[in-house]
Structure 1
Amino acid sequence: MEKHLPYPHVVPNHTRSDKLYLFIKRIMDVMGALFGLLLLSPVFAVVAIFIKLEDPRGPVFFHQIRIGKNEKEFKMFKFRSMVSNAEDLLDQLLDQNEVSGAMFKIKNDPRITRIGRFIRKTSVDELPQLWNVLRGDMSMVGPRPPLVREVAEYTSYEKQRLLVIPGCTGLWQVSGRNSVGFKEMVELDIRYIDRRSISYDIKIILKTIRMLFGAKDAF
């Protein structure tokens, strides 16, 4: 039996104003991603060196299949913050999950490397997703893209998260991130979809920048 949460179902808006919003949002995404990749290129180089120094055999970048708008699969990129065989070790850790619902996270994940712990704490590991934004797989702001195995557990209500292009940051990240449970995350994402606008996106981006360094619940 499907669970029904208090927030009403969202009906996608296809009005002219919504099309204008999406057009402006895409321009902002492309300009933001290009500027970010150019400005942060020295950071990319330094992080790549440290990742290789700690684990020369592993790749610098890690990609994972995620679910985007309308349940379309895409490759999401990150700096590798875990040991090379992290995915193979996942089954041994599932019973230690510290996040409720269809997500998996543990604070002291033994698979995380030393440099990985730092880049996760500062969210630097997420920077390669600017490439996903440039490609159109993701936006600067939107619901975080879930894993395939997570979506397999979604109810029809929870799949409303997938009505829009996923984002690098969103209402969930600026509202508590891992201290917010899965149900609350769904509610925040649906609230964002229902209220999204250029001014709302800018507000979330600015709040994300303020939280970027020293985010205590980023793991």
Structure 2
Amino acid sequence: MEPTKYIKSNRLIVNDNKAYLFVKRFIDVFGALIGLVLLSPLFLVVSILIKAEDPNGGVFFRQVRVGKNGKKFNIYKFRSMVSNAEQLLEGLLDKNETTGAMFKMKDDPRITRIGHFIRKTSIDELPQLVNVLRGDMSLVGPRPPLPREVDEYSDYDMQRLLVTPGCTGLWQVSGRSNVGFKEMIELDLEYIRKQSIGLDLKIILCTVRVLFGSKDAF
């Protein structure tokens, strides 16, 4: 195995070992393919339920997010909100229940009935496996932020954009919605400093546990 190489930012050193990146990408592609095949019946059921509740809206929700090195991409999710959710957001910003450049509201009126269920179980996130196949995301990494969130980032916060964002990460398995913005940044930077295949696999296993028992998702 070749010696470890690093990319330096002003404050953070990012592991750029080619062997690690190759194995990580292999796990991403293999895991995403297996997940899409095994979960295809669930995808069908959820799609039917979403259309049954709101026939005028689409099954999937597409949104611009910011990835590695500030590159923007479209993230895919099952739609859990009413069709005009983005237009209604402005009137809800004063009810934000988290800190910093994020918006979280436990009893968000924009969420549909099926939306509450798929958010609680994180089923709404499963279409992101397509993003993993495309290379926009990894199975494990920092949460991909919205452009409006990045606009409020400090230079310190921007360091979380040095790596490929993930479907799950230290933030997601460490309290998720109960963890504030500053704590999320620190967890993401801790992951970047310590990233390894062993840590990725540990986070994936923790994510499975969270999915079947978490009350923190909203």
TM-score in terms of structure 1 length? 0.94
Counterpart amino acid of residue 93 in structure 2: L
Counterpart amino acid of residue 85 in structure 1: N
SS in 2 for 1:91: helix
Query: 1:95-144 CA distances to partner (integer Å, 9 max, x unpaired)?
Result: 00001000001000000000000000000000000000000000000000
Runs of 4+ residues deviating >6 angstroms: none
SS in 1 for 2:131: helix
SS in 2 for 1:174: coil
Partner of 2:51: 52
Q: Give unpaired runs (5+ residues) of structure 1.
A: 1-7
Partner of 1:86: 85
Partner of 1:20: 19
1:111 aligns with 2:110: yes
SS in 2 for 1:75: strand
SS in 1 for 2:15: coil
Counterpart amino acid of residue 10 in structure 1: L
Question: How far did 1:13 drift?
Answer: 3.2
Q: Would you say how many aligned residue pairs link Structure 1 and Structure 2? A: 209
Counterpart amino acid of residue 11 in structure 2: H
Q: Aligned equivalents of 1:211 and 1:73: distance in 2? A: 28
Q: Aligned equivalents of 1:213 and 1:86: distance in 2? A: 27
1:197 aligns with 2:218: no
TM-score in terms of structure 2 length? 0.94
Query: 1:146-170 CA distances to partner (integer Å, 9 max, x unpaired)?
Result: 0000000000100001000000000
1:75 aligns with 2:77: no
SS in 1 for 2:173: helix
* C-alpha contact (below 8 Å) 2:15/2:195 kept by paired residues: no
Partner of 1:39: 38
Partner of 1:4: none
Counterpart amino acid of residue 9 in structure 1: R
Query: 1:13-69 CA distances to partner (integer Å, 9 max, x unpaired)?
Result: 34xxx1110000000000000000000000000000000000000000001000000
Q: Give unpaired runs (5+ residues) of structure 2.
A: 1-9
Question: How far did 1:11 drift?
Answer: 2.0
1:176 aligns with 2:178: no
Partner of 1:10: 12
Q: Aligned equivalents of 2:55 and 2:15: distance in 1? A: 49
Q: Aligned equivalents of 1:26 and 1:214: distance in 2? A: 28
* C-alpha contact (below 8 Å) 1:178/1:217 kept by paired residues: yes
Instruction: Give 1:141-156 correspondences, 5 Å limit.
Output: 141-156=140-155
SS in 1 for 2:130: helix
SS in 2 for 1:103: coil
Counterpart amino acid of residue 11 in structure 1: I
SS in 2 for 1:93: helix
Q: Aligned equivalents of 2:202 and 2:166: distance in 1? A: 14
